[in-house]
Chains A and B, each alone.
Chain A
Amino acid sequence: MTPFNRNFGQGGTRKAISPDMNWRELTKAGNIYEPGNSASYETGDWRTIRPVWNKDRCIHCLICWRYCPDASIISTDGKFDSFDYKHCKGCGICAKVCPVHAIDMFSEDEIDRQEEASKNEK
């Protein structure tokens, strides 16, 4: 997570914004000068279930891309590319709308436990 360290300044100043700042140092009228900078705010840690892509089943119809509320399905050249796990909130809509069941939802806890177990095996 990289909060408060992007270019929020007016007229290109690169002053970082921090909670202990004086209000006079904030941008006028609370303006934000960098379109789409919420991309640097990660909502992926909200997720309790994780969508996982089954490459062999996918027919690249992009219905999942159409219905993701968080723009977290990345497509390249009109094909499914990957999930943006930094922002995906795990709502499960993509898995539900996929016509060929190429997306499965897994519990994040379960994934953590398995990763832990495989680490211990090594």
Chain B
Amino acid sequence: MATLKELAKVEERFVGGHRLCAGCGHGISVRMVLNAAEDANVVVGCATGCLEVASTIYPYTAWNCSFIHSAFENAGATISGVEAAYKSLKKQGKIDKDFKFVAFGGDGGTYDIGFQSLSGAMERGHNIVYVCLDNEAYMNTGIQRSSATPMGADTTTSPAGKVVPGKQQPRKDLTAIMAAHNIPYAAQTAISNWQDVHRKAKKAFDVEGPAFINILSPCPRGWRYNTPDIVELVKKAVETRFWPMYEVENGKWKLNYKPKKYVPIEEFLKPQGRFRHLFAPGNEHVIKAIQKEVDERWLALLERCGETPELPPK
């Protein structure tokens, strides 16, 4: 693994002057992923969402590499088209340089509206990397719930009120769905462990064929936590097993981190305003339901990874 001293010498591909909010997780995630491409030529595609809107305000671009904007729902199709065109031009001898192709999409653009175009791109086997920047809601349009929004979260379309305490449904497990496409590489990672992000991004760029990475990418506006605490908060997501770090390489599931002890889900929920109502008397059952979901998913994941399905010691 390269050291930060070495990695800091790689040319910056996502530069300052973009208009993401102060402390936005997307800036961190994108910089980490693109840094792992080291000195390769990179073409970036991007679904509409905060990242695209904030980074390409005409006549400025924060992308210090080739970049193509797509609509909200077709980043997967767009980047596969670019890759296919490149392959053809290469065959015809019109391009000699090597390129890598990566698309970024938000959870709305990936779990929901861009899902079919992503699924198609994966099935066709393009040599691309798709990175989902999961901030668990449609942030760019004002915090609407998506299928990645956790149960109990207060969003503008799943408002916490007297009768309904936030979103009613648990999250969709997109990483597992992508793994079910039998692609060479699918992984879930978290910025609290930069080495894990770096290793997975590097692997995704290196494998031949499609690769998918899901990154938990907090939004201080939508999650309503103290902005400087982002790394601590993501660490809590991992320690509570809300966001497990794992990878599926050629069909083989591997857990990358196992918390030493049982950390209750409250530790992840409590610092965030979107879950504040869950701590009011009468809403204990929601926290219980979230905990049950987390524990059940953890046991199923351990089983898939060939580990003994047991919860960490309390």
Residues of chain A having any CB pair with chain B under 8 Å: 4, 6, 8, 17, 27, 30, 32, 34-43, 46-47, 60-63, 65-72, 75, 77-79, 84, 86-93, 95-97
Q: Name which residue of chain A comes closest to B227, CB basis.
A: A91
Q: Considering the complex, which residues of chain B in the window 2-30 have a beta carbon less than 8 Å from any beta carbon of chain A?
A: 3-9, 12, 14-28
Q: Point out the residues of chain B lying under 8 angstroms from A6, CB to CB.
A: 59
Contact present for A39 and B16 (CB under 8 Å): yes
Contact present for B231 and A97 (CB under 8 Å): yes
When the two chains form the complex, which single residue of A4, A42, A90, A91 contacts B59, counting CB atoms closer than 8 Å?
A4
Residues of chain B having any CB pair with chain A under 8 Å: 3-9, 12, 14-28, 31-32, 55-67, 191, 194, 227-232
* A-B CB contact pairs (8 Å), 8 listed: A36-B15, A71-B15, A71-B31, A75-B8, A86-B16, A92-B23, A92-B227, A96-B228
Q: Point out the residues of chain B lying under 8 angstroms from A61, CB to CB.
A: 4
Extra 4 A-B pairs, beta carbons < 8 Å, given A30-B58, A38-B18:
A4-B59, A40-B60, A67-B230, A95-B228
Q: Name which residue of chain B comes closest to A38, CB basis.
A: B17
A1 shortest CB reach to chain B, Å: 10
When the two chains form the complex, which single residue of A40, A47, A77, A79 contacts B17, counting CB atoms closer than 8 Å?
A40
Q: Point out the residues of chain A lying under 8 angstroms from B8, CB to CB.
A: 62, 65, 75, 78
B85 shortest CB reach to chain A, Å: 16
Q: Point out the residues of chain B lying under 8 angstroms from A70, CB to CB.
A: 16, 18, 20, 22, 27
Q: Point out the residues of chain A lying under 8 angstroms from B62, CB to CB.
A: 36, 38
Decide yes or no: A96 and B15 within 8 Å by CB, A38-B55, A38-B61, A69-B27 being known contacts: no
Q: How far is the CA of A88 from the CA of B15 in the complex (A)?
A: 11
Contact present for B63 and A35 (CB under 8 Å): yes
When the two chains form the complex, which single residue of B3, B28, B59, B194 contacts A69, counting CB atoms closer than 8 Å?
B28
Q: How far is the CA of A67 from the CA of B21 in the complex (A)?
A: 15
Q: How far is the CA of A4 from the CA of B57 in the complex (A)?
A: 12
A18 shortest CB reach to chain B, Å: 10
Decide yes or no: A32 and B61 within 8 Å by CB, A38-B18, A78-B8 being known contacts: yes
Q: Point out the residues of chain B lying under 8 angstroms from A90, CB to CB.
A: 22
Q: How far is the CA of A8 from the CA of B232 in the complex (A)?
A: 41
Q: Point out the residues of chain B lying under 8 angstroms from A43, CB to CB.
A: 16-19
Decide yes or no: A93 and B56 within 8 Å by CB, A36-B64, A63-B4 being known contacts: no
A90 shortest CB reach to chain B, Å: 6
Q: Point out the residues of chain A lying under 8 angstroms from B231, CB to CB.
A: 67, 93, 96-97
Contact present for B23 and A78 (CB under 8 Å): no
Q: Name which residue of chain A comes closest to B229, CB basis.
A: A96
Q: How far is the CA of A33 from the CA of B27 in the complex (A)?
A: 22
- Which of A30, A86, A89 has the largest number of chain B CB atoms within 10 A? A89
Contact present for B227 and A93 (CB under 8 Å): yes
B39 shortest CB reach to chain A, Å: 15
